[in-house]
């Protein structure tokens, strides 16, 4: 296939490029040219976006880019909606003009957290600007593009030290700095999602005509506290680092945007189709540490990485 990937400069983009470049011809763009395989395109400029995609003549369009910081979106709603919602409408128009499938990435954060587990058909109820901007993108893709795939991710992990800006990266930076106590919330539940597994399943689904909306997260139901415990255990540092449980209020000043207490997803539709290739999050975490953090771990005193399965 020829695949155009917009907004490919982040942690998920790194994995999508890695997976798709193995067997397909890809054009990956972003406004932040942080890798040699990226070309410049601001997908918030409709004319520029359309010209770039049409020039490449792809068989599929993958729209990745978004503002993912909840705090930034709360402080900058105009930019959040311009980037996370309006640009998705541009992608829909381009996909329809070329009559090609559109892949859109959504988030578990669109739910309000009142349930303990959400399947693909549960009704979203976004709590903040980020969640609402992503959910509006979902709705538009479903209404506007017949050949579409919407994949909802959970707590993303991937990209390594250079591109990971999420929970695992935050923990690793503290550990690397010599922290012996990690304060971790014990009142937030969710599902980790390894970017490489996520990209691989997108690639598999693009070979089908199973168009529609899908939850796509790693297996296993957990929470922030348990993820931190597993990370320290994988590093062989459980006897040197204490994971201290705290309530979300502990970080209220830094993380002020509303977050649902539970973002756990189940890949119900993928399972029914026999297309759920997402591994257990603990297996993926070990592989992530081995493949992306090997040098960092080698420099940690007393660390001994457990073998990935």
Q: What is the pLDDT of residue 254?
A: 81
Count of other CB atoms within 10 angstroms of residue 165: 13
Strand 222-223 vs strand 189-190: parallel, antiparallel, or unpaired?
Answer: antiparallel
Q: What is the mean pLDDT of residues 56-85?
A: 96
Tell whether the model's pLDDT for residue 23 goes beyond 60.
yes
Q: How confident is the model at residue 307 (pLDDT cuts 50, 70, 90)?
A: low
Q: What is the pLDDT of residue 284?
A: 95
Helix (H) / strand (E) element for 174: namely helix 167-176
What phi and psi, each to the nearest 5 degrees, are found at residue 9? -90, 0
Distance between CA 187 and CA 250 in Å, rounded? 11
The domains of the chain are located at 2-160+192-220+262-280
Q: What is the mean pLDDT of residues 68-75?
A: 95
Tell whether the model's pLDDT for residue 25 goes beyond 70.
yes
Q: How confident is the model at residue 256 (pLDDT cuts 50, 70, 90)?
A: confident
| Tens-place pLDDT, residues 27-47 | 999 999 999 999 999 999 999
Distance between CA 93 and CA 47 in Å, rounded? 11
Q: What is the pLDDT of residue 309?
A: 57
- Distance from first CA to last CA of the chain, Å, rounded? 31
- CATH code given to domain 2-160+192-220+262-280: 3.40.50.720
| Tens-place pLDDT, residues 225-246 | 999 999 999 999 988 999 999 9
| Tens-place pLDDT, residues 175-219 | 999 999 999 999 899 999 999 999 999 999 999 999 999 999 999
Percent of all residues in the chain with a pLDDT value above 90, rounded to a whole number: 88
- Give me the residue label for tokens 């729209």: 63
Tell whether the model's pLDDT for residue 10 goes beyond 80.
yes
Count of other CB atoms within 10 angstroms of residue 240: 14
What phi and psi, each to the nearest 5 degrees, are found at residue 97? -60, -40
Tell whether the model's pLDDT for residue 147 goes beyond 70.
yes
| Tens-place pLDDT, residues 84-134 | 999 999 999 999 999 999 999 999 999 999 999 999 999 999 999 999 999
Q: What is the pLDDT of residue 89?
A: 97
Q: Average pLDDT of the chain? A: 94
Q: What is the mean pLDDT of residues 246-264?
A: 88
């Amino acid at each position: 296939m020829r695949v155009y990937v917009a907004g490919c400069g982040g942690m998920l983009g790194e994995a999508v490029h890695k997976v798709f470049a193995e067997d397909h011809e890809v054009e990956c763009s972003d406004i932040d040219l942080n890798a040699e395989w990226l070309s410049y395109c601001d997908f918030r400029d409709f004319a520029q976006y359309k010209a770039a995609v049409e020039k490449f003549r792809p068989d599929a369009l993958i729209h990745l880019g978004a503002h993912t910081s909840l705090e930034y979106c709360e402080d900058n709603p105009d930019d959040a909606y311009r980037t996370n919602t309006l640009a998705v409408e541009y992608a829909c128009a381009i996909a329809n003009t070329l009559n090609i499938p559109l892949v859109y990435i959504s988030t578990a954060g669109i739910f309000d957290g009142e349930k303990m587990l959400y399947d693909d058909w549960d009704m979203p109820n976004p709590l903040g600007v980020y969640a609402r901007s992503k959910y509006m993108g979902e709705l538009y893709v479903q209404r506007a593009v017949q050949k579409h795939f919407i994949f909802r991710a959970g707590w993303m992990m991937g990209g390594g030290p250079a591109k990971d800006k999420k929970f695992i990266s935050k923990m690793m930076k503290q550990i690397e700095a010599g922290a012996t106590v990690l304060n971790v919330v014990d009142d937030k539940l969710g599902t980790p999602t390894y970017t490489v597994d996520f990209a691989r399943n997108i690639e598999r689904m693009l070979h089908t005509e199973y168009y529609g909306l899908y939850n796509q997260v790693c297996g296993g139901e957990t929470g922030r506290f348990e993820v931190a415990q597993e990370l320290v255990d994988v590093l062989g540092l459980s006897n040197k680092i204490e994971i201290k449980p705290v309530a979300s209020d502990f970080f209220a000043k830094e993380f002020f945007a509303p977050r649902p207490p539970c973002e756990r997803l189940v890949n119900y539709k993928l399972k029914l189709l026999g297309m759920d290739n997402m591994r257990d999050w603990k297996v993926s975490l070990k592989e992530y540490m081995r493949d992306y953090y090997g040098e960092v771990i080698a420099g940690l005193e007393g660390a001994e990485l457990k073998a990935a399965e």
